[in-house]
């Protein structure tokens, strides 16, 4: 066990943890930030995507030791019902969800895309999301939502 200080959604948290604990379990179980989802634990599905230093990363593959001290953003830190992020508003406007288990990962991956490329083409969006899995088949709406968010942001 060792002490780590994490900078998450603008707040600092100091926790005593095994250094190899994946960030995913720290977010979900130690901090109650459950929007970041366990899907495979193998970095294959994207459900656990968060932003670290502005890059979209799979939190199941990031040991807490390597995340310490770097700014981490999760879906909870993106926006609120009172002050939604344009991506969140666009997903609601497009009704871009079925079960929505994949959606926080989709939004966080799209967030990374829009940071790099504020005016993506449809092909850019599909390519950026191509390693995020959705089982319900909500892809068409997700693409439309990212397009809509790109227009307003």
Partner 1 sequence: MAAPVMSRRAVLQGLSGLLIGFSLADPSRALAATVVRSGEPVDDKPLASDRIDAWLAITEDNRVIVYSGKVELGTGVETALRQIVADALDVDFDTTSIIQGDTALTPDQGYTAGSKTIQIGGMQLCRAARSARQLLLRNASERLSVPIARLETRQGHVHVDGNGQPALTYSQLVDTQVFDAVVEAGDEQPNPPRFVGRSVARVDIPDKIFGRFAYVQDLRVPGMWHARVIRPPTTGAVAVARLEDVDTTSIPEGVELVRIGDFLAVAAPSEWQAIRAAAALRVQWEAKYPLPDMDDLHDALQAANADEREIEARGDAERALSEHDNILEATYRWPFQAHDSIGPSCAIADVKNDRATIWSGTQGVYPLRASIADLLGMALESVRVIYAEASGCYGHNGADDAAGDAALISQSLGRPVRVQWSRADEHGWAPKGPAMVMALRGAVNAEGRVAAWAFRNWTPSHLTRPSSDAGARNLLAGNLARASVAQAPPVGGDRNAPVNYVFGQYRVSVHWISVEQSFLRCSALRTLGAIQNTFANESFMDELAARAKRDPVAFRLDHLKDPRAKTVIERAADRSEWIARVSPLREVESAGEGQRGRGIAFACYENEFAYVAAVAEVEVSDREGIRVRRVTVAHDCGQIVNPNGLENQIEGNVLQAIGRTLKEEVRFDPMGVTSLEWGAYPLLTFVEIPEVDIVLVDRPHEPPVGAGEATSAVIPAAIVNAVFDATGRRLRTVPLRWRGES
Q: CA 28, CA 139: separation in Å to the nearest integer? A: 26
Query: Do residues 93 and 114 lie in contact, with contact meaning Cβ atoms separated by under 8 Å?
Result: no
Among the listed residues 28, 58, 111, 148, the single contact to partner 1 using CB under 8 A: 28
Q: Does 74 bind partner 1 (CB under 8 A)?
A: yes
Q: Report the nearest approach of partner 1 to the CB of residue 2 (Å).
A: 14
Q: Does 137 bind partner 1 (CB under 8 A)?
A: yes
Among the listed residues 2, 5, 18, 19, the single contact to partner 1 using CB under 8 A: 18
Torsion on CA atoms 116, 76, 81, 44, rounded to nearest 10: 60
Three-state secondary structure call for residue 48: coil
Give residues with Cβ within 8 angstroms of 11, minimum separation 6. none
Q: Does 138 bind partner 1 (CB under 8 A)?
A: yes
**Residue count at the site for partner 1 (CB under 8 A)?**
63
Sign for the CA dihedral angle at 113, 114, 118, 122 comes to positive
Among the listed residues 129, 148, 149, 150, the single contact to partner 1 using CB under 8 A: 129
For partner 1, which is the closer residue by CB, 65 or 100? 100
Among the listed residues 40, 53, 54, 151, the single contact to partner 1 using CB under 8 A: 40
Q: Does 117 bind partner 1 (CB under 8 A)?
A: no
List % helix, strand, coil for the chain (3-state, nearest 5). 40, 20, 40
For partner 1, which is the closer residue by CB, 69 or 135? 135
Strand stretches in 21-142, DSSP E = 49-52, 55-58, 71-73
Binding site for partner 1 (CB under 8 A): 8-9, 11, 13, 18, 21-22, 25, 28-35, 37-42, 44-45, 47, 74-76, 79-81, 84, 88, 91-92, 95, 97-104, 107, 125-127, 129-143
């Amino acid at each position: 066990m060792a002490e780590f200080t994490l900078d998450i959604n603008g707040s600092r948290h100091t926790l005593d943890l095994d250094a190899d604990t994946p960030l995913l379990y720290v977010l979900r179980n130690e901090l109650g930030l459950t929007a970041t989802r366990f899907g495979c634990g193998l970095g294959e599905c994207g459900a656990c995507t968060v932003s670290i230093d502005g890059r979209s990363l799979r939190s199941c593959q990031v040991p807490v030791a390597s995340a310490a001290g770097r700014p981490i953003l999760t879906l909870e830190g993106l926006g609120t019902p009172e002050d939604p992020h344009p991506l969140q508003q666009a997903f609601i406007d497009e009704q871009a969800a079925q079960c929505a288990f994949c959606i926080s990962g989709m939004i966080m991956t799209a967030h990374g895309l829009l940071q790099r490329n504020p005016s993506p083409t449809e092909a850019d969006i599909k390519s950026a999301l191509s390693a995020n899995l959705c089982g319900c088949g909500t892809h068409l709406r997700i693409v439309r939502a990212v397009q809509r968010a790109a227009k307003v942001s």
